[in-house]
Amino acid sequence: MHGQIIILNGAPRSGKSSIAAAVQETFDGVWINLGVDVYAQVTPPRLRPGIGLRPGGERPDLEAFVPRLYAALYDSIAAHSRLGLNVVTDVGHHDAHSRPLDILPDCAWRLAGLPVLFVGVRCPIGVILQRRAASAADGTYVTGSDEYPIPRPVRLWQEEMHKPGIYDLEVDTSRLGLQACAEAIRQRLLAGPEPLAFRRLAQMRAKGKDGYQCGPVPRLPRKG
């Protein structure tokens, strides 16, 4: 029997990583967390943020690698599921690069025939900014200022994250606690209906495209 797959899609600080942790801790069975934070640890520093590349097209030098990294991640998710392991993945899918990369439909195609629940994790921008400010000490997240209360990267994450908006379930972490969000996901799996979001997304792949074609590996960006 294939393992269940849960894909959590949301902006940074929306709460998706905490929901993934709650799924691991409270759901029955073995749940493997394969997501953006985990994948960042195995991505070479010169290619980071890798699949976490933010909207805006400001790093076209990395964009040749991003589809490869996503393809490898989703093929790994599929392999885990086919071995009977459940997988929860927290990611930030968007297509606001310097050019369209059409990554999400390709990722959906890679999980064809496997049980996938696609969950949109939403959170209002005001709450996002509060959470970013609380984490400002480590320098990980861009925060607002008096001159620019909503930084452009934060605004773009909010605008681009949930396109095209095809989900099996959506949760708002400003209204539900993280454990309540996890419970809503559990109930959706138990009560149905059958998740169809990834099937629909897979049908949006470009005609004639047969998965990501691994041609010559691009040169790594130079340091500095």
Tens-digit pLDDT profile for residues 17-26: 999 999 999 9
pLDDT at 145: 56
pLDDT at 150: 83
Q: Respond yes or no on whether the N-terminal peptide bond of residue 49 is cis (omega within 30° of 0).
A: yes
pLDDT at 132: 82
Res. 135: pLDDT tops 90: no
Please classify residue 21 by burial: count the beta carbons closer than 10 Å to its beta carbon, then call 0-12 exposed, 13-18 middle and 19+ buried.
middle
Q: Which residue has better confidence, 150 or 51?
A: 51
pLDDT at 143: 60
- Three-state SS at 60: helix
What is the phi/psi pair of residue 63, to 5°? -65, -25
Res. 140: pLDDT tops 70: no
pLDDT tens profile 113-124: 999 999 999 999
Average pLDDT along the chain: 89
Domain ranges of the chain: 5-202
Q: Considering the entire predicted model, what is its pTM?
A: 0.87
pLDDT at 219: 57
Res. 80: pLDDT tops 60: yes
What is the phi/psi pair of residue 59, to 5°? -130, 65
Mean pLDDT, range 207-224, rounded to an integer: 50
Least confident of 49-53, 74-78, 93-97, 129-133: 129-133
pLDDT at 184: 98
pLDDT-derived band of residue 222, with 50, 70 and 90 as boundaries?
Answer: low
pLDDT at 153: 86
- Three-state SS at 90: strand
The CATH H-level superfamily of 5-202 is: P-loop containing nucleotide triphosphate hydrolases (3.40.50.300)
